[in-house]
Amino acid sequence: MLVNGRDTRSIRLAEPPREAPVPEIIDQTRLPHELRFVLLETLDDAERSIREMWVRGAPLIGVTAAYGMALAARTDPSTSGLESAARRLSDTRPTAVNLEWALSAMVEKLRPLPPADREAVAFEHAAALADTDVAACQAIGLHGSEVLEKLVPSGAPAERLQILTHCNAGWLATVDWGTALAPVYRAHRAGLPLHVWVSETRPRNQGAGLTAWELGEEGIPHTVIPDNASGHLLRTGRVDVVIAGTDRTTSAGDVCNKIGTYLKAVAAHDCGVPFYAAVPGSSIDWKLGEGEAESIPIEERDGSEVSEVRGLAPDGRMTSVRITPAGCRVANFGFDVTPARLVTGLITERGVCVASREGLASLFPDRASGKDARG
């Protein structure tokens, strides 16, 4: 999507081409204050970039890990080297299933090959996974924008459709376009008048920092709100639809996404406002069925993300300030589960379905056997 009016991806190969390809990412911890591209030259770099959230968002974590495997194949293309790289990358963040999906796709592709061929094929396959992600997000944009068009109040086509989103499920969370924001981008480019309420998403503020930045670059009207304002907006009729992303969706349609998503879904349900999740196939965990969402590993991150707030100081430096009493106990759960019963529909690259086993199986009959976790 656009940055300073130029099409940009969240991960790409560095230009001009080097002797050996080097992936390049945006250090998202510095946004919205600074747009800094960082080279990933080693497996260590890839591992660190995911763990420290220079890259984040389920699909982008998966693609970065795929490039991490390619970098690992450059220094140790042996089977044991690849398996150890996959283990290290898989330990970085536990909740997004896309990580597991991308790593097993890479290992499956590389294992049968002679070690000398593995690096080149790994780079090709990582690029193919990135392109597949872009295609999936574009298709989600198409199907989701049809949902948005139908929600425009009849008789009031000139009024802006009011959309509430949480965290960042835009192009920064994927390779391009995003999941929850892809329908917004597509509808906006097609001329649908809309406005996005962006919840700030404490503790890391992916909404306030990343979503607001993305939407601003695309010229989309938006307003940042504190997380706890959503209920008020929903109850007073100022939201027409909620769209969120997902880090892991069970085959029964339960959606695990950034902490705070569940509360929005509860409030939307109470207020009769539709709540959609944008779900690429790579985010579906077919191993988890009815009643099994509780076994999704919920990431718990460092308490300093809660006790401190990070931002730009008046002197232009990035800094953190403490907001809790010194030594105060804090808890920092990264994700929560929204049960399928609160989800109006799942917007996938293959169309929109009811949040249920039957709904997902109708769109993904080839993957719904329950045995293939890769989706």
Binding marks (x or -) toward ligand MRU, 189..228, rule CB under 6 A?
-----------------x----------------------
65 is an interface residue for ligand MRU by CB under 6 A: no
Among 3, 277, 24, smallest CA distance to 127 is for 24
Query: Cα dist. 366→63, 97, 353 in Å?
Result: 23, 18, 16
Collapsed DSSP state (helix, strand, coil) of residue 25: strand
Q: Please give the size of the binding site for ligand MRU, defined by CB under 6 A.
A: 18
Interface region with ligand MRU, contact rule CB under 6 A, candidates 50-58, 107-115, 230-238, 318-326: 50-58
Query: Coil, helix or strand for 68?
Result: helix
| Token reading at 294 | 């509780």
The answer to whether residue 100 forms part of the interface with ligand MRU (CB under 6 A) is no
Q: Which stretch binds ligand MRU (CB under 6 A): 55-63, 99-107, 143-151, 311-319?
A: 55-63
Part of the chain binding ligand MRU (CB under 6 A), chosen from 44-52, 243-251, 288-296, 318-326: 243-251
What DSSP assignment string belongs to 273-332?
--EEEE--GGGEETT--TT-GGGSPPPB--THHHHEEEEE-TTS-EEEEE-S-TT-----
The rounded distance, in Å, linking the Cα atoms of 293 and 331 is 21
Minimum distance from residue 352 beta carbon to ligand MRU (Å): 17
Binding to ligand MRU by residue 245, rule CB under 6 A? yes
Using CB under 6 A, which of the segments 68-76, 174-182, 220-228, 320-328 binds ligand MRU? Answer: 174-182
Closest CA to 215 of 204, 205, 207, 225: 207
Query: Tokens representing 330?
Result: 């804090």
Site for ligand MRU in 153-172 (CB under 6 A): 167, 169
166, 233 in Cβ contact below 8 A? no
Alpha helices in the chain (DSSP H): 43-51, 58-75, 79-90, 97-110, 115-151, 182-189, 206, 212-218, 230-235, 261-271, 304-307, 357-363
Q: Which of 59, 62, 183, 203 binds ligand MRU (CB under 6 A)?
A: 59
Nearer to ligand MRU, 59 or 253 (CB): 59
Please, what's the b/e burial string for 168-204 (b: 16 or more CB within 10 A of its CB; e: otherwise)? bbbbbbbbbbbbbbbbbbbbbeeebebbbbbbbbbbb
CB of 259 to ligand MRU, least distance (A): 8
Q: Which of 21, 23, 57, 209 binds ligand MRU (CB under 6 A)?
A: 57
Distance in angstroms (rounded) separating the CA atoms of residues 61 and 49: 9
Residue sitting closest to ligand MRU (CB): 245
Identify the residue among 173, 233, 239, 346 touching ligand MRU (CB under 6 A): 173
Among 29, 92, 162, 179, contact with ligand MRU (rule: CB under 6 A): 179
CB of 332 to ligand MRU, least distance (A): 11
Query: How would DSSP label each residue in 97-144?
Result: HHHHHHHHHHHHHHTTS-HHHHHHHHHHHHHHHHHHHHHHHHHHHHHH
Task: Assess whether 247 carries a catalytic annotation.
Answer: yes
Catalytic residue among 45, 133, 227, 247: 247
CB of residue 179 vs ligand MRU: minimum separation in angstroms? Answer: 4
Expressed in angstroms, the distance from the first to the final Cα of the chain is 26
The residue (of 54 and 123) whose beta carbon lies closer to ligand MRU is 54
Interface with ligand MRU (CB under 6 A), residue from 45, 133, 217, 247: 247
What part of residues 297-356 is at the interface with ligand MRU (CB under 6 A)? 334
375 near 164, Cβ under 8 Å? no
Tell me if residue 353 falls in helix, strand or coil: strand
Q: Least CB distance from residue 217 to ligand MRU, whole Å?
A: 17
CB 137 within 8 A of CB 169: no
58 sits near ligand MRU (criterion: CB under 6 A) = yes
CB of 356 to ligand MRU, least distance (A): 20
Under the binding rule (CB under 6 A), the answer on residue 132 touching ligand MRU is no
Q: Which is nearer to ligand MRU, 49 or 82 (CB)?
A: 49
The catalytic residue positions are: 247
Given the rule CB under 6 A, which residues bind ligand MRU?
56-59, 96, 167, 169, 173-174, 178-179, 206, 245-247, 257-258, 334
